[in-house]
Structure 1
Amino acid sequence: MSAVVCVGSISNIKALWESRIQKHQDELKAERGQRGKSSVGEISNVWESRIQLSKLKEKVYNEDGRLILRIEKEEWKTLPGCLVKLPQLQEWQLHRTGLTTIPTFIANFNNLLVLDLSRNVINKIPREIGRLTKLRELLLSYNRIAEVPAEISGCENLERLELAVNKDISELPDQLGKLTQLTHLDLNMNQFTTIPRAVLELPALEWLDMGSNKLKTLPEDVDKMQCLHTLWLQRNEISDLPDSIGHLQNLSTLVLTNNRMRGIPACLQSLRNLRFVNFRDNPLELEVSLPPSEDEEEEEERDLFGLQFMHAYIQESLNSGSTDNEFLNKDEDLFS
C-alpha cells in the first residue's frame, strides 16, 4: 500500500512557519530601530544640554571677583538642569525672560549671595530656597507670586527681600520674623490689610515699603520696629495712627500720601529724627498755610505738606482744641 502525501497540508505548514519567521524578523528589526532611536534621542539630549550650557556660560560675568549669571530680555521660560554644572555662581540676574518657575535645584547653589528674578512671571517660590543659607538678597518684585513659604526663614543671612508688585500677596508666615539680618523689605502693591506680625518681629528692619496695599490702621505695637528709619505707607486707607508710632525714635522718613487721614496726631512731634514727611492728598480737616519764607529758593523747595506743615498743623489742631474747651467751659458756667 503506497503512502498518500497531502500536498495542501505541507504547503499550509510551510506558509505558517514562514509567517512566524517573518514576524519574528520584523519584531527584531523594530526593536533594533527603537534602540537606535533611543540612542539617537539620548545623544540629541546630551548635545542639547551641552548647547544650553554653552549659552549659559556666555551669560556669566566676573565683576569684582563675583560670578554673575545675567540674562536680560531673552526668552528662558524654564532653566535647564545643566545649570547645576555652574555651582560656583554667586549671583543670578534674570530680568524680563518670561521665567515661570524657580527650579527646585536652586538648592544646589550654596554660594549664591543674590537671587534677582524681578520682572518675570514666576507664580511660586519653591521651599528649597530656604537652603540658601548664604543668600543676602532675594528680589522677586513684578511677578505673580501669591504665597510666601515659611522656608525662606532658613535664609539666615538674608538682608534684603523685595516682593513688590506681585499684587496678590496678603500675608507672611510668622517664621519670617526669624530673619535677624533683614534690614530692607519691600511689599508695595499687594493685598495686605495690616502690617504682618512677622514684620513687627524683624529686629534689624530699617526700611519698609507697604504702599499701595489695603491698610486701614497700624498695629498698636508698631513701635517694636525700633531700628526703622524709613516707612512708606502711601496709597492705603489709613485714617488714624496709633500713639505708639511716636516711639520710633530712629524714624527719619514717613510717607502717608493718598490715605484717609483727617488729622495729624500730636504724637508725631516726638519723632526727633524725622526729616521727611508727606501728607499730601489726605482729607485733612484743618486748612493750614505756612508763613512765607524770606528765602525765595527755600520757598520754592519747601514741601507744602512736609515737616513744617506737619508741625504747623499739629499746633493749629492743639490751639483749636484749646479754644473748643474754653467755649465748652463757658457754656457749662452759663447753665450752672
Structure 2
Amino acid sequence: MAETAVCLGTFTAVKTLWEVRIHKINEELQKEKEFRQRLLLVWEERAALAKLKEKVINEGGRAILRIEEEEWKTLPSCLLKLIHLQEWQLHRTSLQKIPQFIGRFHSLVVLDLSRNSIESVPKEIGQLTSLQELLLSYNRIKSVPKEISNCISLERLELAVNRNICDLPPQLSDLKKLSHIDLCMNQFTAVPSALLNMPNLEWLDMGGNKLQELPDAIDRMENLHTLWLQRNEINSLPETIGNMKNLSTLVLSNNKLKDIPVCMKDMTNLRFVNFRDNPLELEVTLPPCENTDEEEQQEMFGIDFMHMYIQESLKKTGMAFLLILISPQYSEEE
C-alpha cells in the first residue's frame, strides 16, 4: 500500500509539472501569436501608408489624396499620418464607411467621395470647419446628420443619386455660405424648410424626386439663379414664383403642370426655361423663324413658348370674362 501511495504521489507530481509546463508553453505560443499579429498589422499599416503616400499629389498648392477605381472598402487609421491633406478625392473605390477620425482632418477643404458605397455620414464630419465642398453623390446614404451644420465654411453640398434621402435637417439653414446644392434623384416629397432659410443659396437641383408642389414661400430663396425640378410630379406653380427676380434658369420638364402662371411674364431675368413633357391645357405653337440660325436657337418649350402660352392664357381669360359680362344682357333681351 505504501509503495502504491508513493507511485500515485509521484505520478500526480509529474502530471502537475507537465501541466504547468504545457500551460507555460501555451502562454508563450499565444504571446508569440499575438506578437506576430501585431507585427503583421504594423507591416500592413506601413504598406498601406506607403500606398496612400503614392496617391498624394499637389495641385494648385493643395495636398490631394486621389484614388480612383481601386478597392478601399475601409480607410486605415494610418491615414492620420497624412493629417495635412486638404482634399480627398476617392471615386469608385467601393468605400463603405467614412471613418470617424475624419473629424481630425481640420485642413480639409474638399471631401469628394462620390461614386462609392457609403451608407451613412458620421457626426464627426461637423468638426471640419474649413470644409468648403462636400461631394457625396452616387452613394447609398439614407439620412444627413445635423452636425453638417457645423461646417461653417461649406459652399457646395452634393447628395445626388443616393436614392433614399427624403429630408434635410433644419439646422442646415445655419450654413450662411452654402450656395450650391444637388439633391437630384432621391425621395424628397417636399422642398426642405432648411433650403428656404439659406440666405446665399444660388443653385439648386431637385430633379428626379417626388415633389408634387412648391411651397408658397419659395420666393424666400431670393438669391437663387438656377433651379432644376425636372422629372417630378409638380402639378402647379405658386404665384410667389414671380417674385424670384434673380432666377435665370428654371427647368420643369417631365412634370404634371397644366398651366403656366401669368406672373411669370414679369420675370425679366429668366433666360432659360423648359416646360417640355407637361400636360399643359393650351396648345401653343411658335411661329416659324425667319432664318435657320434663329430656328436652331429657338427652344420649343422655352422662353418664347412661355410668353406665348401666357399671352394665349390671358386671351382665353379675357374672353371668358367678356362672356360673363355680356351674358346678363343676352338674358335680359330674351
Asked if TM exceeds 0.5, the reply is yes
Gaps of 5+ in 2: none
1:149 aligns with 2:156: no
Determine the structure 1 residue equivalent to 2:256: 260
Please, which of 174, 177, 180 is the counterpart of residue 181 of structure 1? 177
Give the superposition deviation at 1:332: 1.9
Cα separation, 1, equivalents of 2:96 and 2:329? 73
1:51 aligns with 2:47: yes
Gaps of 5+ in 1: none
Cα separation, 2, equivalents of 1:239 and 1:28? 79
Cα separation, 1, equivalents of 2:235 and 2:8? 98
Cα separation, 2, equivalents of 1:291 and 1:44? 76
Cα separation, 2, equivalents of 1:6 and 1:172? 87
SS at match of 2:108: coil
Determine the structure 2 residue equivalent to 1:112: 108
Give the superposition deviation at 1:159: 0.2
1:106 corresponds to which letter in structure 2? I
Determine the structure 2 residue equivalent to 1:216: 212
1:61 aligns with 2:66: no
Give the superposition deviation at 1:218: 0.7
Cα separation, 2, equivalents of 1:17 and 1:294? 114
Give the superposition deviation at 1:178: 0.4
1:92 aligns with 2:93: no
Give the superposition deviation at 1:331: 1.7
Cα separation, 1, equivalents of 2:232 and 2:8? 91
Cα separation, 1, equivalents of 2:328 and 2:92? 69
1:237 aligns with 2:236: no
Runs of 4+ aligned structure 1 residues displaced above 3 Å come to none
Give the superposition deviation at 1:328: 2.2
Cα separation, 2, equivalents of 1:72 and 1:41? 30
Percent of pairs with identical residues? 55
Please, which of 291, 303, 306 is the counterpart of residue 307 of structure 1? 303
Determine the structure 1 residue equivalent to 2:267: 271
RMSD: 1.0
Moved more, 19-28 or 159-168: 19-28
- Select the structure of larger CA radius of gyration: 1
Cα separation, 2, equivalents of 1:8 and 1:146? 76
1:151 corresponds to which letter in structure 2? E
Cα separation, 2, equivalents of 1:246 and 1:224? 12
Give the superposition deviation at 1:11: 1.6
Please, which of 121, 124, 128 is the counterpart of residue 124 of structure 2? 128
Determine the structure 2 residue equivalent to 1:11: 7
Cα separation, 2, equivalents of 1:13 and 1:62? 76
Give the superposition deviation at 1:300: 2.1
1:81 aligns with 2:77: yes
1:317 aligns with 2:324: no
Cα separation, 2, equivalents of 1:289 and 1:128? 55
Give the superposition deviation at 1:13: 1.3
Give the superposition deviation at 1:330: 2.0
Moved more, 33-42 or 222-231: 33-42
SS at match of 1:277: strand
Determine the structure 1 residue equivalent to 2:222: 226
Q: Which runs of structure 2 are paired with 1:191-206 in the superposition (5 Å)?
A: 191-206=187-202
Cα separation, 2, equivalents of 1:227 and 1:273? 12
SS at match of 1:221: helix
Moved more, 67-76 or 325-334: 325-334
Give the superposition deviation at 1:301: 2.2
SS at match of 2:264: helix
2:94 corresponds to which letter in structure 1? G
1:41 corresponds to which letter in structure 2? Q
Give the superposition deviation at 1:326: 1.3
